[in-house]
Structure 1
């Protein structure tokens, strides 16, 4: 299952991820940086965010506290930009791009 999953869009956690786990289906989340929103301070725009209507549709003032909290964690670790963010659900140090919600079939 491929779904958008990041700290700003977590609505899939309760039902979809549980269902995938019950069915043994893996998850391939996309947009772990929230279309770039988690990779820079709240309110800061990139060339893409100024011109891409899809990215603009994800702008919400409700996201600002989450973006600011991520920025504080990154600053506390002494890293900036996207380097301070990890994909949600990935244990520290795991390098694989996939999250398997169920038992491994391999």
Structure 2
């Protein structure tokens, strides 16, 4: 059996903010990634997509359902350099309307070496 090991520099996790029925499934998958020891020091960018659709979840609602209310890292306003906290942030976006994700990738770029 062959194993392929790759170095992961960052994780971008896209969630459909409109499909609230699948939030539990999204949380389960995200929890698995966050608990993976190989990703312990890797920054996570969570994108809540489809904010252009009426009744899509707000950022606070998405954070709550994904269990990320205690993972706020300040969107770049908090210095994590001297802490033991892995950068993780949620940005709401609309891929169709090309908005929001640019801010997320800009935030993420400060952690890429």
TM-score interval w.r.t. the shorter chain?
0.3 to 0.5
Instruction: Specify which structure has the higher proportion of strand.
Output: 2
Point out which structure has higher relative CO (alpha carbons under 8 A, 6+ apart).
1
TM-score normalised per structure 2 = 0.32
Instruction: Specify which structure has the higher proportion of helix.
Output: 1
